[in-house]
Amino acid sequence: MMERLLLDVPHRQVVFTIPKMLRIFFKYNRKLLSGLCLCGKEFLLKYFKAVTGRELTPRIIAVLQSFGSKINLYPHLHFLTTEGGEDPDGHFHKFSRFSEDLIAKFFSREVFSMLLDSTGSRASMILCSALIVVVR
């Protein structure tokens, strides 16, 4: 049974964090935490396509944590993902080029897009100014 559930391919852990200035949105709207997981998944799909030029589907185990070691609000994701993915024909394509800069840009775009879609115009102004600060 294990052979059918696990791929015998390299895996990598990726941790996604939220800047401190944006954590307040997650404190008062806990539904955004599930959106955070979806942002991580969408980011990986877009990242894999940008790096390989192919539509690949990675295998992902995602763990969401909403607190830090001091029991403070610290929403972040731990992803265990394959180093590559399957194409639409079911063939696995391996790659191990993970660029931290590109990962940060792709993930931050997904998160900001989610937050802009779920907040009002006043919050959008705060988010836009935060985007300028964080992405630099």
Angle at alpha carbon of residue 119, lines to 41 and 128, rounded to 5°: 80
- Do residues 86 and 57 lie in contact, with contact meaning Cβ atoms separated by under 8 Å? yes
- The span from the CA of 34 to the CA of 15, in Å, is 16
Confidence grade of residue 120 (pLDDT, cut at 50, 70, 90):
low
Stretch 104-121: mean pLDDT, rounded?
78
* pLDDT, greater one: 129 or 67: 67
For the segment 13-42, what is each residue's pLDDT rounded down to a tens digit?
A: 888 888 887 888 888 888 888 888 888 888
Confidence grade of residue 88 (pLDDT, cut at 50, 70, 90):
very high
Q: How many CA atoms lie within 13 A of 26 on its CB side?
A: 24
Is the model's pLDDT at 132 over the cut of 50? no
Angle at alpha carbon of residue 123, lines to 120 and 127, rounded to 5°: 130
